[in-house]
């Protein structure tokens, strides 16, 4: 269901798995079925909470807020506006030593390339 059609996701592939820090206690993605189908058809579902096998899930260990269809992030129809629950900006050397994973989605590098005129 997830798509990388947004310029923010230039350096990712649909199906890539990243570990993203979260710090939200409330809030989750909710929408009616028609809206979700439309978002999926338009490639606007940017990111989803997935299990260790890369499958979207409602399991609280991976989808802490029970977002519908495990949706973690969506984009505007043209892909230029990205909204997501996780904190992809929280990357850096020496962080998360006890939590393995691939953290840097290169979102901000992609944005600089696109919005800086290197698209």
Q: What is the per-residue pLDDT across 30-83, written as a single tens digit (0 to 9) for each? A: 999 999 999 999 999 999 999 999 999 999 999 999 999 999 999 999 999 999
Report the residue count for the chain.
Answer: 119
Average pLDDT over residues 84-110: 85
Domain containing 24 equals 1-119
| Sign of the torsion angle spanned by Cα atoms 51, 65, 20, 113 | positive
Residues 28, 30, 4, 61, CA torsion sign: positive
Which carries the bigger pLDDT value, residue 96 or residue 8?
Answer: 8
Domain CATH for 62 = 3.40.50.880
Q: In Å, what is the CA distance from 18 to each residue of 77, 87, 99?
A: 23, 12, 12
| % pLDDT > 70, the chain | 97
Confidence of residue 119 (pLDDT cuts 50, 70, 90): low
The average confidence (pLDDT) of the chain is 90
How many structural domains are present in the chain?
A: 1
């Amino acid at each position: 269901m997830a798509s990388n059609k947004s310029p923010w996701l230039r350096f990712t592939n649909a199906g890539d798995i990243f570990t993203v820090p979260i710090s939200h206690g409330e809030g989750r993605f909710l929408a009616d079925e028609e809206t979700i189908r439309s978002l999926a058809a338009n490639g606007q579902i940017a990111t989803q909470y997935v299990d260790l096998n890369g499958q979207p899930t409602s399991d609280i260990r991976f989808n802490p807020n029970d977002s519908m269809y495990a949706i973690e992030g969506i984009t505007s129809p043209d892909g230029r506006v990205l909204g997501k629950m996780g904190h992809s900006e929280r990357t850096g050397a020496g962080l998360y030593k006890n939590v393995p994973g691939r953290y840097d989605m290169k979102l901000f590098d992609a944005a600089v390339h696109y919005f800086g005129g290197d698209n």
